[in-house]
Structure 1
Amino acid sequence: MKGRGIWIVMDAVGIGGAPDASDFGDYGADTLGNIVNACAAGLANRDRQGKLQLPNLKKLGIFAAHAEANSNRYSGCRGKNSNASYASATEISRGKDTPSGHWELAGVPVSWDWKYFKDKEKSFPEDAIRQIMTACNLNGILANCHASGIEIIKELGEKHLRTLEPIFYTSVDSVVQIACHEEHFGLKKLYDLCEESAKIFHPMMVSRIIARPFIGNDKDSFYRTNNRKDYTIPPPNPTVCELLTRNGQACHAIGKISDIFAKKGISTSVSGMTDDMLFDEMLKAINLSQDGDLIFANFVEFDSLYGHRRDVSGFALALERFDKKVGRLLKFINADDFLIITADHGNDPTFKGTDHTRERVPVLMAGNYAQCGNHGKIFFSDVGATMASYLGLRGDLCGDNIFKHRKMGK
């Protein structure tokens, strides 16, 4: 075949409209739409000004996809673009977490319920913590609760430096996060701790154990580094990535893609950098890749720096900066390449709480393979099936090629 697949996940850039949003307590959540409205109202003017400006994503159909997702209910994002190839995608997996979203996009929906820790205090089972303490020779742990990562490090970071007891915390997601000082506790020791913790929590069907290293000397100077590492349960069935590598083609992972898929079907991986740096690494990977390869990228800072922190101005600015990068990308790729830009869930910075929000996501496509027009309301798994069809893959994936798929009912 001629051309390469380029698949970008704008982590947390949802477009509202999820039919089951109320089941998750997320009715009214609309990451893109509410950012547009906040910008128009002058409520997102820190380090930027005025209306949200996304000329390149607009040409690709992001506002038209938003209108489709919401059946044109929200005037702030109305738009049609007959020259674009776009759709809005609905998730069927019973979660609004990163692995569920990515796996379903790659053709493997999650058919089970993840394990969640519902108790806000003393969140983790005592027996599990005892096993981890014994295996890792720990005197104790800190936190053991639901928490914001930034806030819990400010609150307990200094005590961690004194005791070297790791900070364990969780959220409404199926996750165990472990924060330790990168220098005083040690990065390798933190990774080893997370590996041991995964042995305990993965059999409980906890989706991810996340290493959250930080540095600094006190609560006013602590900050998390880019050496985060996710220990994820492997997908239960082969994804697009595995089908690709089994077929002798390469999957080049950018950002946390390799961690999300537990390294299954990953040929090369670059991570541990800012999104700006990772975008440049993605361009390098595209340049070095062969026809039939897939470059699969996740840009997480929309979610980690702005969504969870409910930072509307920061999220808006990040979108505008990303839009400029998309302009560079469109000039960089070839007409025979197939580009998909999508998202894995929402994280509305105007919404209550600090957690992900259940939303539809945009599906923006470009290249000779993409057929212009509105492809309607589709499913997450249709995105992966479409990329697989482009790459000439055969296998047991959920979903249908978007360009052969009838519209989903509204």
Structure 2
Amino acid sequence: MDVGRPNQKKRAIIIVLDSLGIGSSKDAVNYGDEGSDTLGHIAELCNAGKANSRCRLQSGPLHIPNLARLGLADAAKESRGKPLPYSGKPSVIDGVFGFAQEISSGKDTPSGHWEICGLPVLFDWGLFPNTPNCFPKSLLEEIISKGNISGSLANCHASGTKVLEDFGEELMKTGRPIFYTSADSVFQIAAHEKTFGLEKLYDLCEIVRKIIDPLNIGRVIARPFLGDSASDFSRTSNRRDLTTPPHGPTLLDHVSEAGLPVISIGKISDIFAGKGISKSVKAPNNDGIINQILDQMKVVNEGLIFANLVDFDSKFGHRRDVSGYANAIEEFDKRLPEILKLTGDNDLLLITADHGCDPTWKGTDHTREHVPALFYSKKVSSKNLGFLTTFADMGATISNHLKTPALKKGVVCNLW
């Protein structure tokens, strides 16, 4: 393949709808997730009139005319083996669509994103057991000593909102941060921005990151919150992820090494530990991230713009909020035409996800699912790609569009 720079500037935009899975994958049984279906179950409950709450701006069937126009409903039908109930059926499909299977060993955020970018995680991350006092005593003692704190609270598997209800007030009284984890390879630290201090929280996370590196833990996550009591505690937008660096080159490295800009929006830079990133832009929520996508598309005319819309996962998937998740999908759908309008003749847009997080499923963790692979370009017409055997096929296709060196994993999708 010719990897020389093209005469015309090429640009790619990747938008990850964090956790928007479209049906359980073939190996979901190994994860206890057989039958999970994030988009499908949300759509079914909307269709049954069971997702009509005040947090959803409309009622009835899930209304996704613009995503359906790019082939989301068709990809979901292929993945789940039955039609997706929704409203806003388009007269034509303008996108190239398919559904992709993850080959990485985990169903976590870094694994999904890295695999999209050609670097599947074929090893097992370190995990903490789902037992009371799940962190080793020696580990806690080292963190307490080096972090200069008096102790820690929780020290267990927990949901991010429940752990604040249970331990937030005690943190404010004692000054002890909340340590917790999940089924993912994470060490999460929650602390009050005012009574504990935001910078102190960040510093503690840096210390913990160094301590747990030998344990092969994927992320240390700072979870700051505000509020005066358990009834009004809420997490702020000042989250910070300290991710272990990717274990090899990714699409981002290839693009940046070719002299092209790589613009990270949202938590992308954190997920890749800053590797291959030219510029990182933050935003507090989905709406702000979409605004940043539009702003960057107006000024960056080549290279890669890479965004993650985190609210789907953090605010609605993990919290098992069907109505809120449905509303977030519909709100993104409303704004999708703004993105399509700025998509030029030499652009390739990819809309996908990194894993599932079915809000109807047991527990509060991610679910092992297929993800949509929706490509849009003014130069391609409707096509069904069918089943992609790895997320890396999407990254390979983006790499081919940008004329950067081929990734080690992934097959280029024939969009024409």
Q: Per the shorter chain, which TM-score range?
A: over 0.9
- Residue 236 of structure 1 corresponds to which residue in structure 2? 247
Aligned: 1:278 with 2:285: no
When residues 396 and 281 of structure 1 are mapped into structure 2, their CA distance, relative to the original with a 3 A threshold, is closer
Alpha-carbon contact 1:369-1:390 (below 8 Å) kept: no
Residue 217 of structure 1, CA deviation:
1.2
Alpha-carbon contact 1:228-1:272 (below 8 Å) kept: no
Distance 1:404 1:4 in 2: 16
Aligned: 1:12 with 2:19: yes
Secondary structure, in 3 states, of the residue corresponding to 2:163? helix
Alpha-carbon contact 1:67-1:77 (below 8 Å) kept: no
Aligned match of 1:249 in 254, 260, 263? 260
Distance 1:126 1:150 in 2: 25
- Residue 5 of structure 2 corresponds to which residue in structure 1? none
Residue 83 of structure 1, CA deviation:
3.9
- Residue 205 of structure 1 corresponds to which residue in structure 2? 216
- Residue 408 of structure 1 corresponds to which residue in structure 2? none
What TM-score do the two structures reach when normalised by structure 1?
Answer: 0.95
After the TM superposition, which of the residue ranges 326-335 and 164-173 deviates more from structure 2? 326-335
- Residue 26 of structure 1 corresponds to which residue in structure 2? 33
Which structure 2 residues correspond to residues 383-398 of structure 1 after superposition, within 5 A? 383-398=394-409
User: Structure 1: 5+ residue runs without aligned partners?
Assistant: 406-410
Residue 371 of structure 1, CA deviation:
5.3
Residue 177 of structure 1 aligns with an amino acid whose one-letter code is: Q
Aligned match of 2:82 in 73, 77, 99? 73
Distance 2:130 2:233 in 1: 27
Residue 300 of structure 1, CA deviation:
0.5
Distance 1:315 1:358 in 2: 18
Distance 1:327 1:179 in 2: 37
User: Structure 2: 5+ residue runs without aligned partners?
Assistant: 1-7
Per-residue CA deviation, residues 338-364 of structure 1 (Å, 9 max, x unaligned), is 100000001111111111110000011
Aligned: 1:349 with 2:359: yes
Distance 2:380 2:251 in 1: 18
Alpha-carbon contact 1:66-1:77 (below 8 Å) kept: no
- Residue 172 of structure 2 corresponds to which residue in structure 1? 161
Distance 2:66 2:401 in 1: 23
Aligned: 1:194 with 2:205: yes
When residues 75 and 111 of structure 1 are mapped into structure 2, their CA distance, relative to the original with a 3 A threshold, is closer
Alpha-carbon contact 2:119-2:249 (below 8 Å) kept: yes
Aligned: 1:50 with 2:60: yes
Secondary structure, in 3 states, of the residue corresponding to 1:7? strand
Secondary structure, in 3 states, of the residue corresponding to 1:38? helix
Residue 247 of structure 1, CA deviation:
1.0
Per-residue CA deviation, residues 60-89 of structure 1 (Å, 9 max, x unaligned), is 00011111213x335637999654211100
Amino-acid identity (%) = 47
Per-residue CA deviation, residues 183-231 of structure 1 (Å, 9 max, x unaligned), is 1111111011011101122221111000000011111121100000000
Distance 1:219 1:82 in 2: 48
Residue 322 of structure 2 aligns with an amino acid whose one-letter code is: V
Aligned match of 2:340 in 316, 330, 334? 330
Residue 73 of structure 1 aligns with an amino acid whose one-letter code is: K
Distance 1:318 1:13 in 2: 11
Distance 1:177 1:273 in 2: 19
- Alpha-carbon RMSD: 1.7
Alpha-carbon contact 1:82-1:374 (below 8 Å) kept: no
Distance 2:164 2:401 in 1: 45
In the alignment of these two chains, the number of paired residues is 403
Distance 1:75 1:180 in 2: 41
Residue 385 of structure 1, CA deviation:
0.5
